[in-house]
Amino acid sequence: MAEALNAEALDTLFRKARSHNGWQDRPVSDELLQQLYDLMKWGPTGANSCPARIVFVKSDDAKARMKPALAEGNVEKSMTAPVVAIVGMDLEFYEKLPKLFPHTDAKSWFEGKSQKIQDSAHRDASLQGAYMMLAARSLGLDCGPMSGFDNAKMDEAFFPDGTIKSIFLCAMGYGDESKLYPRGPRLDFEEACRIE
C-alpha cells in the first residue's frame, strides 16, 4: 500500500480521463458491472455505512422508464450509453449497521434522527458514486456523470418504496472520443487549497 501508482494508472484514473457524452456501440457485460461493484465497495464511508444503492440501467425497457425523468440535454447520451447507473442513497442504511459496523451499537446513532440520516446518506453515497467512477475507469470503462433529471420521477420509476432517493446518474461504456468537448480548465492548488 505504500507505493504510488505508476503514471499510466494515474492518467487512466485522473489526468487523461474525460467525461463522455457519446458512446461506441459496445456492450458492457453484467460480469464487468459486478467487478466494478466488487472494487468500489471497499471505499471508505462513515461508520462503514455503505448507503449507496445503484441501479444499472441497461435494457430497453428500463431506459424507457428512465427517459421521462431526464432533462432534454441528457436524453441522447443516456439512451445511447450501454449502461446508466442511478446512484441513490438508502435512508434506512442504519438498519445494516449491525452487520457493517458490529463492534458497537452504531444503529442507535441514527435511529429517529432524520437530518443526521439525510446528511450521512447523501455524503457517503455520493462518495461511493465517486468510487464507482474510479472503479469503472480502472476496468477500462468511460464515464459521463450527470445531474439534470427529475429526482421524483426517477425515484418513482426505480425506487418506488420511498426509502431510496436518487442523487446523480452516470452513463458508462466505451466513449466515442470524436464527441468530446474541449477539456475544461481546473483550479490551481493556490486557488483551491491552503496548508496551515
Task: List pLDDT tens digits, range 106-118.
Answer: 999 999 999 999 9
DSSP code at position 23: B
Residue 1, pLDDT > 80, answer no
> Which three cell numbers, joined as nine digits, stand for 147?
445531474
Superfamily of domain 20-175: NADH Oxidase (3.40.109.10)
In the predicted model, what is the mean pLDDT of the chain?
Answer: 97
Residue 163, pLDDT > 70, answer yes
What's the pLDDT score for residue 2?
A: 79
Amino acid letter, residue 104:
T
Across 1-5, 134-138, 158-162, 173-177, least confident range: 1-5
Mean pLDDT of the 136-161 span: 98
